Copies of this chain bind each other. A is one copy, B any other.
Amino acid sequence: MERIGFIGLGAMGKPMARNLMKAGYTLNLLTRTRAKVEDLIAAGGAWRDTLKEIAQHNDIVITMLPDSPDVDLVVAGKDGILENARPGTLIVDMSTISPVTARKLARDAQARGCDFLDAPVSGGDIGAANATLTIMVGGTEAAFKRALPLFQKLGKTITHIGDSGAGQITKAANQIITSINIEAVAEALTFAAKAGVDPVKVRQALLGGAAYSRMLEFHGQRMLDRNFKPGFRMALHRKDLDIVLSAAKEYGAPVPVATKVREMMTAMVESGRGEMDNSSLVLLLEEMKAS
C-alpha cells in the first residue's frame, strides 16, 4: 500500500482524509492548525511538522488548499514538496485552482522526475463526508491509474478528462454553468413573484420540461425556503469565477455572462454576504431596480 501524505485538512480535506483512513491507509497529515485534527491523529494519523517531512515519508501527496498561490507555494515553493520529494512521487492536487497554475505545476513536477495530477472535486462537504464526490482529473494515464484506488475511496463519479489542466478546466466549466444557472433560476422566480404568480407553482411546472436543471431543483427550492445556510459559500463560488475569468483571458475564451454573474457575486461578498449559500444571489436581484 502506498504511503499517503495529506496537506490541507479543512472543511473538505478533513472528511476526505478520514475516508482514506477508514479504507486502511496510514496518513501523514499537515494542516495550518494542528489542534483541528487531533481526532485524526488519535485515530492513527501521523502528524508531520513540515512539508519536507511529508515529502520524504510518502509516495503520494494529496493537497486540498484554498487557492492557486497556496498550492503553488506548497508544491513548488522553497522547502516545498518538489524540493524534497524522491523521484516517482505523485502529487495529487484536489483543490480548485487555476488550470494555468495546474499546468505549470505539472511541468515543475516532471522536471523533478515526479508526477502531478489536477483532480478537483464537486459535491461539497456532504459529498466529501459521504465519499460521493465527483472527481475531474487531468494528467497522464499512468498517474491516473495509480491514484484511482484513492479516488474510489473519496468519490463516486471519477473521470479522467485529459492531459494536465483538463481537470481544472472541467471544474471551471462546471462553475460557469452552475453560477449562471443559479442566476437564471433567481431571475425567473423573482419575475414570477413580482408579476403576482406563486413561484412555488412556477418552479413545479418548469421542473418537468426544458428549463429543468439541478439548480432549479435544489437552489430553486432553497430560494423559496429562504434557506441560505451553506451549502456552497458565495465567496468561494466568486473565487472560482475569478479563476474562470483569468483562465478565460489566458486562453482567449469569451465568457460575457459568467463575467456578469461574477460582478453580482462580488456585490454579495462586498455587502457582507459572502458566507451565505450561493443561492442567496436571489437576494441581490430582489434589491435591484427593474431593468
Is A56 on the interface with B (CB-CB < 8 A)?
A: no
Residues of B within 8 A of A224 (CB): none
- Is A206 a contact of B254 with CB atoms below 8 Å? no
Report, as a range, how many residues of chain A touch the other chain. 35 or more
Question: Are B210 and A192 in touch, CB under 8 angstroms?
Answer: no
For residue A68, CB closer than 8 A to chain B, the reply is no
* Chain B residues within an 8 Å CB radius of A193: 253
Instruction: Please tell me if the beta carbons of A170 and B202 are within 8 angstroms of each other in the complex.
Output: yes
**Contact at B206–A192, with CB atoms within 8 Å?**
no
Alpha-carbon separation in the docked complex, A25 to B84 (Å):
82
Query: Chain B's nearest CB lies how many Å from the CB of A97?
Result: 14
Q: Are B99 and A257 within 8 A (Cβ)?
A: no
Nearest CB of chain B from residue A175's CB, rounded to whole Å: 8
A169-B191, A261-B257 known; A174 vs B209 contact (CB < 8 Å) = yes
User: Which of A197, A214, A288 has the largest count of B CB atoms less than 10 A from its CB?
Assistant: A197
Can you pick out 13 interface pairs between chain A and chain B where the beta carbons lie within 8 Å of each other? A122-B209, A162-B201, A173-B191, A174-B211, A176-B188, A177-B211, A187-B255, A190-B254, A191-B248, A193-B253, A194-B252, A212-B213, A257-B261
A binding-site residues for B, Cβ under 8 Å: 99, 122-123, 134, 136, 138, 157, 159, 161-162, 165-166, 169-170, 172-174, 176-178, 180-181, 183-185, 187-198, 201-202, 204-206, 208-216, 218, 244-245, 247-249, 251-261, 264, 285, 288-291
Nearest 6 pairs of A and B residues by beta carbon: A213-B213, A180-B184, A194-B253, A173-B188, A177-B211, A254-B288
